[in-house]
A = this chain, B = another copy of it.
Amino acid sequence: MVTSDFQRARRPEHKEQRREAILAAARLLATRDGVRSVTLGDIAGEVGVHKSALLRYFETREEIYLHLTAAGWRDWAAALHTALDGATGASTAEVAGTLAQSLHERPLFCDLLAHAPMTLERHVSLESVRAFKLSALDAVEDIAALLARVLPGLDSVSGRNVVATVTSLGATLWQASHPPDTLAQLYREDPRLGHAVVDFTPRLRLLTEAVLVGLLASADDA
């Protein structure tokens, strides 16, 4: 049933439905199993079609996840607007808490942030990576401007630097706090590795606040 419906799609709105179904399946599997472990075959199986049918809608597995990364940027920007639009004059602690909590609530986006530069951007066409970069940069600019409005003294250049730092740390700390099975076993068994265990949200909040305070202090000096 799913298969024949899927393959009969000819009208533009049906094609868009098929694309959405593929993206939804890819999102479900990566949220459950991690981005690295999902293959194009897994996504096709979840949608209920053959792999070749997917390739009429997306170039590669990586293009599918690059679309989800771009969607993740838009979703994150929207969530930050909801939390911070009325928060002009908020403290650095409050803004750092909002940034860290919003990434804590978006584990798939954190996973994708690590995979985008390492693998996803490298296995798609020039036009796909252009579309992704323009979409992600729009979100970065939007969030940078929001942060500059909420924290007087922070300019939009510093706002972009905050976004770069928070997403770099979010990606790194998320991977560190979701180790492979061998490492998870080591962390449980070997007390010498206690410091390697990362508590994602408090650490991200602490370091985000430090960057905000440090960038505001250098703005004061200028």
Interface residues of A (CB under 8 A from B): 36, 114-115, 117-118, 121-122, 124-126, 129-130, 133-134, 137, 140-141, 160-161, 164-165, 168-169, 171-173, 175-176, 179-180, 182-183, 185-186, 190, 192-193, 195-196, 203, 206-207, 209-215, 217-218
Does B183 contact A125, Cβ atoms closer than 8 Å? no
Q: How many copies does the complex hold?
A: 2
Which one of B130, B203, B211 contacts A207 once the chains associate, using CB atoms below 8 Å? B211
Which one of B121, B126, B160, B217 contacts A217 once the chains associate, using CB atoms below 8 Å? B217
Interface residues of A: mostly helix, strand, loop or mixed? Answer: helix
Chain B residues whose C-beta falls within 8 Å of the C-beta of A210 in the assembled complex? 161, 165, 210-211, 213-215, 217-218
Q: How far is the CB of A69 from chain B (nearest CB, A)?
A: 14
Does A212 contact B214, Cβ atoms closer than 8 Å? yes
